Amino acid sequence: MRVLVTYGSKMGGTKGIAETIAETLESRGLDVQVESVKSVSGEDLEASDAVVVGGALYASRWYRPARRFVKRNKAALSERPVWLFSSGPLDDSASEREIPPVRQAQKLMDLVGARGHMTFGGRLPADAKGFPAAAMAKKQAGDWRDPAQIRTWAEKIAADLA
Ligand SMILES: Cc1cc2nc3c(=O)[nH]c(=O)nc-3n(C[C@H](O)[C@H](O)[C@H](O)COP(=O)(O)O)c2cc1C
């Protein structure tokens, strides 16, 4: 079974989560492609039996390329098991409790009949560039991605697909 793990990531944090998910699925014997939403082709999607899509959260919205990916590929995604994940809060909240999808991510889930969603903690590099990221990074830089939580969620996907 082939799984596409794709991500919309501005600063690389969501990409890292996608890679951890991909490694976990691979360790469960799945054939995995991990790829930015910007470079996934129609063939990649057609060749996959299931898809995991991740979007970075900016002002309570999914990073636009991720949002567009889901909308653009609505038909292909609706025909496959799909999971979405979001990233993510710059504190421990996502490790402490399950944070529901933002309204927009919920709409995207409904659009393609997604089986599940998870919000993972995010990362803000100390050297983040641009406005307002650079200003935020002076107070709030850090990495709240929780590898154990990410692996546990990916294990559930692997079990669901088995
Ligand atoms: C300008 C800005 C706005 C953000 N807004 C949110 C938000 O609304 N909700 C949230 O959980 N995280 C928010 N974050 C945190 C990001 O989601 C977090 O840094 C994430 O890991 C970034 O992912 P990326 O590195 O893949 O781009 C924001 C970060 C920045 C810089």
Give the separation between CA 13 and CA 17, rounded to whole angstroms.
Answer: 7
Pocket test for ligand 1, best of 124, 131, 146 (most atoms within 8 A of CB): 124
Structure confidence at residue 103 (pLDDT): 97
CA-wise closest residue to 122 among 63, 36, 39: 63
Q: How far is the CA of 28 from the centre of ligand 1 (A)?
A: 30
CB of 123 shorter than 6 A to ligand 1: yes
pLDDT tier at 137, thresholds 50, 70, 90: very high
CA-wise closest residue to 88 among 149, 131, 155, 37: 149
Q: Which CATH superfamily is domain 2-161 in?
A: Flavodoxin domain (3.40.50.360)
Task: Write out pLDDT tens, residues 79-133.
Answer: 999 999 999 999 999 999 999 999 999 999 999 999 999 999 999 999 999 999 9
Structure confidence at residue 52 (pLDDT): 99
> What DSSP string describes 102-128?
PHHHHHHHHHHT-SEEEEE--EE-TT-
Structure confidence at residue 162 (pLDDT): 94
Task: Write out pLDDT tens, residues 51-88.
Answer: 999 999 999 999 999 999 999 999 999 999 999 999 99
Task: Give me 8's structure tokens.
Answer: 């919309």
Give the separation between CA 90 and CA 108, rounded to whole angstroms.
Answer: 23
Structure confidence at residue 139 (pLDDT): 94
- Domain ranges, ordered by start, for the chain: 2-161
Q: How far is the CA of 154 from the centre of ligand 1 (A)?
A: 22
Structure confidence at residue 124 (pLDDT): 98
Q: What is the dihedral of CA 88, 14, 115, 22, to 10 degrees?
A: -140
